[in-house]
A and B are shown apart, each in its own frame.
Chain A
Amino acid sequence: MLWSEMERLGRVFDPWSEFERMNRTLRRFALPSTVEFPAINMWVSENNAVVTTEVPGIDPNALEISVVKDSLTLRGSRQDEELKEGESYHRRERWSGQFTKTLELPFPVDAGKVEARFAKGVLFISLPRAEADKPRKIVVKSEQA
């Protein structure tokens, strides 16, 4: 009896597990601290998904969007500012280089109907759900005997 009691107390006051628990709770409310570039937001309705991502300054024609069933891949790049003789960076925080990101969609989409728009450095992609994947309502006929 006593031991089990101690054990229970020990668990309650273990500062480390308490810390872990708090950490887990907090993590659920915060945005992920590191995500693969570029960061994505997605909205979903029954028959459509909308993906947005912030890729300012890229050449939209060089952006590659490919869709296979329920996976979406974004590929693009952004060049550094080219410096001439006598020019120098005082600060350099902006990203440059190539990126590739693949994400899983909640359902297979109709690749032929995917639409993308690039405005103010934000990419919007609309992905309609594949016809074959849409839930179907089966009408029950009553037999007239």
Chain B
Amino acid sequence: MTEAAGEMQKKEAETPETGERTRASRIYAPQVDIIERKDDIVIIADMPGVDEKSVDITLEKNVLTIYGRVDAYAPENHRNFLSEYGIGDYQRVFTLSDEVDRDKIQATVKNGVLKLVMPKAETIKTRKIPIKAEGIGGVLNYS
């Protein structure tokens, strides 16, 4: 048992969406990793119970919202005996910086893990400003 996996509890999303919910379930904030790579930024989110059909990703201006719907599971003719975790939808909101190329965001879901690959915009990738050394002569003239 490692420390990382030692104590984990689902956290409820801090800011539920605006307005009231019509579904009677809780909303949890998925745990995420955000990795910056050379050409893109990757968001990986743990959303157990979600597949590619039940996840919605919306981008409005620079606000990226991940929403995953989870259907409560309960076997028939059984009574609940132990409940260590709650079941509910997932939501998390991110504010993107300008460096992401919005049209090329790709999302995949596998085994309850959402992976968003957001390529960096071309302009950002090449925005390296070369610094030239000024000619010594010019400097001397003014001193």
Interface residues of A (CB under 8 A from B): 31-45, 48-50, 52, 54-58, 60, 78, 81, 83-84, 86-100, 103, 106, 118, 120-122, 124
Contact = CB atoms under 8 A, between A and B. Distances in A.
A120 B35 contact: no
Given A92-B34, A121-B113, A122-B49, 16 more contacts: A31-B9, A33-B9, A36-B7, A37-B1, A39-B10, A44-B79, A56-B112, A57-B111, A83-B35, A89-B36, A90-B35, A91-B33, A93-B31, A95-B5, A99-B2, A120-B51
A99 to B, nearest CB: 5
B80 interface: yes
B37 A42 contact: no
Majority secondary structure, B binding face:
loop
B31 A121 contact: no
B5 A99 contact: yes
24 contacts: A33-B9, A35-B9, A35-B85, A40-B82, A41-B84, A43-B80, A44-B78, A45-B78, A48-B78, A50-B78, A56-B48, A56-B111, A57-B113, A58-B111, A81-B33, A86-B38, A90-B34, A93-B32, A97-B4, A99-B5, A121-B47, A121-B49, A121-B50, A121-B112
Interface magnitude class on chain B? 35 or more
Contacts of B86: 31
A89 B35 contact: yes
Contacts of B83: 31, 41
Contact of A41 (B6, B32, B50, B82): B82
Contacts of A34: 7, 9
Interface of B: 1-10, 31-38, 41, 44, 46-51, 73-75, 77-87, 110-113
Given A57-B46, A81-B35, A89-B33, A31 B84 contact: yes
A98 B5 contact: yes
Nearest to A34: B7
B84 A32 contact: yes
A16 to B, nearest CB: 28
A52 B112 CA distance: 14
